[in-house]
Chain A
Amino acid sequence: MTLLRFWQAHASELWAMIERHVVLVVLSSGAAIALGVPIGILAAHRPRIGKPLVAFANVAQTVPSLALLGFLLPLPFIGGIGSRVAILALILYALLPIVRGTIAGITTVDAGVVTAATAMGMTNRQLLWLVELPLALPSILAGIRVATVVGVGTATIAAAIGAGGLGEYIFRGLSMVDSTVILAGAVPAALLAVAADLLLTWVERTLRPSRHRASRRRVLVTASALTVIAVAFGGLSMRSAPDAIVVGSKNFTEQIILGELFAQSLEARGIVVTRRLNLGGTFICDRALRSGDIDVYPEYTGTALTAVFHETVGHDRGSVLERTRRRYAEGGVTVLEPLGFDNTFAILVRRADAESLGLRSIGDLKQVQQRWQPGFGFEFVERQDGYRGLAAAYGLSFARDPRVMDLALMYRALASGEVDVVAGDATSAMIAALDLAVLADDRGYFPPYDAVAVARTATLLRRPEVRQALEALGGQVSAAEMRTMNRAVDVDHRDAAEVVRQFLKSR
């Protein structure tokens, strides 16, 4: 019921996502057909050329989807966030079944039929078009069906790099730990897959030989017309408004709220905004900003210095901000006024444990390091200022390797006892909601993580009203206000856009 209500409240957004999802799948499947069928033909006729291509398609298929997106992101011309990379990745996934289907279809054509065709004086081209392809068609279509159905599923991952589609709900739901929102994306995606399967099965059955010619032709014409329409539609809908300011954010609740805050503040001044919220992490956001795919996103000073510029961070708030500004300026990026709160790391344990064992500061973890299971986000494990630095600063050494987990799932995992200590956000709503305790950083290990808007300098120069809107947010969000908004989204399951709207109204 909550799911139905959610869909009702987000009807127009839902339709847009479904449409985008369909466009992603149709475009990528279409391109994969255009590539895969000729590759399959080549592989069937000239194994020496074809085999390496099939091997390539095989390898592409085995790369996990997120990793594939990661590989493609930094490539010139095709890289960057948005639909291009997502479509490319989906094409690579769709290739293998289509190539396989084509090869199987052509190589299983009866040898007598091929001899008869050759002996009656068919050219190779006639043999292909009049005999091999029509006979291979069912097998090719079966490959296309598999590719498309799998594509509908894989396309949900595209949301991680801002390509949109139903995956947005899934990722949003994951970051909010809200199963309703996950289902809001997962259920339509599953239905789409079933629909695609049924549709293509029907096409397959109708095109089988020993059907009447006219009806077969009609199906082919209908299918191609639908594809053309979808592609044309897609071409139009992919384009964002030309003078729109693109706001990005990383993939956790606070970032989405801040992204929404930027977007609504800009819109309040009549500026057209395109949202690319929920991008898969610091690296992706930074690349997107520098390549001009997005114009602005929320960042934290400490994160910028370590994760983006690979520098160590001091403990003085002012000098950290100053250095961050300077380093960004070299790359044509402007750091605007801090928003007013510090989202530093917080080392969290269950409140019950903290009380029964008398844990107060991070150093107290020494007494449990032999038996406790730490759980950290991927960035925290990798980053200089993350786990390794923390362990060195406090002389900690856990007997067990930290379990690497998604930020969104970490708090739940801690509360449910899967892990015993995590590194979370100081502003997280989950701390209160799940009855967790923050261990004091009494050695001052964690540097300041002041939230700031980072924006392309070129955009700010070209559009002074954008700078004005973003600067007006300086000092406007306190840690308490941030925690309240986080809680409204994460715990009360309210819509981020609505929470921000309310916040702005209260100013």
Chain B
Amino acid sequence: MHLNRLQAERMSLVEFRGVTCAYGDRRALADLTLSVGRGEALALVGRSGAGKSTLLKLVNRMLIPQQGSVLVDGRDTREWDPIQLRRRTGYVLQSIGLFPHLTVQENIGLVPRLEGWAVPRREARARELLQLVGLAPDDYAHRWPSELSGGQQQRVGVARALAINPPVLLMDEPFGALDPVTRRELQRAFSRIQQELRQTVLLVTHDIAEATALGTRVGILDDGALIICDTPAAVLRATDARVRRFLEPVRTPTTAG
């Protein structure tokens, strides 16, 4: 057990060490310790306001912890140049945030463009990623975001986050705004991509089913603390009362918030 933990630490790409982060007097995270290994997809479940988004923003230094430290690649985020760090972490948001003034291909090619890639290489990469997320490049490369459905937009959002093969992919409720059918479609596509790429992923969601389906490990955040973090099977079997509450099937999407 002790040896395992040491090993995990050596392997870990993202690590939280006793992190506390608060907005004003509301504590989002309290003394959180957590590590994500290479190639692992950690899915974190929590209610709204449980500090899920805060957790992701600590990884790419859009926030800095008040206490403790967040390490990426073994380096404290405070020591990272934020621009460099963010280029190494893809980010997929619930609101997608595609640039409405750029075509699909330009949206995907934007980070490569910031990295100074030449146009042909950017275009080839965009087509490759469109293929990966299941959109035919010839049909979609030159469309505007406003011409796509929500599901198609989020596929582009995922492709954009993967553009320069970042070591870490952060996903903030990526499929939360989609209708159930589209959501399942995208979850399937994501699983497939994840198996293909072995990407290190940190995904937050309020949907336990999504977490257990997509995560190689599942954590549950409650009131700023991690109450369990284990394989999906282990989490589903857990007997702890607090954990069981999260496992009860969601009756209506709105009560899950």
Interface range on chain B (Cβ under 8 Å from partner):
20 to 34
Which B83-98 residues sit within 8 Å CB-CB of chain A? Answer: 83-87, 89-91, 93, 95-98
Which A residue's beta carbon lies closest to that of B81?
A121
State whether A110 touches B146 (Cβ < 8 A): no
Cross-chain contact of B60 among A114, A119, A134 (Cβ < 8 A)? A119
- Confirm or deny: A135 has a beta carbon within 8 angstroms of a beta carbon on chain B: yes
Cross-chain contact of B91 among A110, A114, A116, A134 (Cβ < 8 A)? A116
State whether B84 touches A121 (Cβ < 8 A): yes
Which A residue's beta carbon lies closest to that of B57?
A119
Cross-chain contact of A134 among B83, B101, B111 (Cβ < 8 A)? B101
User: Which residues from A are CB-within-8-Å of B97?
Assistant: 110, 112-117
State whether A120 touches B111 (Cβ < 8 A): yes
Complex alpha-carbon distance, A131 and B106, angstroms: 12
Flag B174-194 by CB within 8 Å of A: 1 or 0 each.
000000000000000000000
Cross-chain contact of B99 among A111, A113, A115, A123 (Cβ < 8 A)? A113
- Confirm or deny: A130 has a beta carbon within 8 angstroms of a beta carbon on chain B: yes
User: Which residues from B are CB-within-8-Å of A209?
Assistant: 100-101, 144
State whether B110 touches A120 (Cβ < 8 A): yes
- Confirm or deny: A122 has a beta carbon within 8 angstroms of a beta carbon on chain B: yes
State whether A112 touches B95 (Cβ < 8 A): yes
- Distance (whole angstroms) from the CB of A352 to the closest CB of chain B: 72
Flag A212-247 by CB within 8 Å of B: 1 or 0 each.
000000000000000000000000000000000000
- Confirm or deny: A210 has a beta carbon within 8 angstroms of a beta carbon on chain B: yes
- Confirm or deny: A476 has a beta carbon within 8 angstroms of a beta carbon on chain B: no
Which B105-145 residues sit within 8 Å CB-CB of chain A? Answer: 110-111, 114, 144
- Confirm or deny: A126 has a beta carbon within 8 angstroms of a beta carbon on chain B: yes
User: Which residues from A are CB-within-8-Å of B96?
Assistant: 112, 116
Complex alpha-carbon distance, A135 and B82, angstroms: 25
State whether A120 touches B100 (Cβ < 8 A): no
Complex alpha-carbon distance, A117 and B110, angstroms: 9
Complex alpha-carbon distance, A44 and B111, angstroms: 25
Complex alpha-carbon distance, A111 and B245, angstroms: 33
A interface with B by C-beta (< 8 Å): 110-123, 126, 130-131, 134-135, 209-210
23 A–B pairs (Cβ distance < 8 Å), ordered by A = A110-B100, A112-B96, A113-B97, A115-B62, A116-B96, A116-B97, A117-B97, A119-B86, A120-B86, A120-B91, A120-B110, A120-B114, A120-B161, A121-B82, A121-B83, A121-B85, A121-B86, A121-B87, A121-B111, A122-B114, A126-B114, A130-B110, A135-B101
Q: Which 9 A-B pairs have the closest CB atoms?
A: A116-B97, A112-B95, A121-B86, A119-B91, A112-B97, A209-B101, A121-B87, A134-B101, A113-B97
